[in-house]
Amino acid sequence: MLKFVIVDHRLRGQGIGGEMLRLAVRQVFDTTDAEAVHLNVFAENAAARRCYEKAGFTERDVTPAAFRFGDEQWSRCNMILRRRI
């Protein structure tokens, strides 16, 4: 499971997140027998979800209102990328 995939807001939109994901996934599949890599993202974070989808991740499930922050409730989206055979 990947955690805390974060790109400085001043550098977003330059492909850094996608490259970071590509390298991390390649490392996992080249060095382990893992069948998949997954991550969680706030469902409301459309930009991050697009980045993960471009990297090959697909939505596995969504947990509505999984997190509270002040008066807000955010949903958790679990995304997965399976090893290609």
Ranges of each domain in the chain: 10-82
Q: What is the CATH number of domain 10-82?
A: 3.40.630.30
- Predicted model pTM: 0.89
Residue partners of 42: CB distance under 8 A and separation at least 6: 48, 67, 74, 75, 76, 77
Q: What is the pLDDT of residue 4?
A: 86
- Residue ranges in the chain modelled with pLDDT below 70: none
DSSP letter (8 states) at residue 83: P
Q: What is the pLDDT of residue 57?
A: 97
Q: What is the pLDDT of residue 66?
A: 95
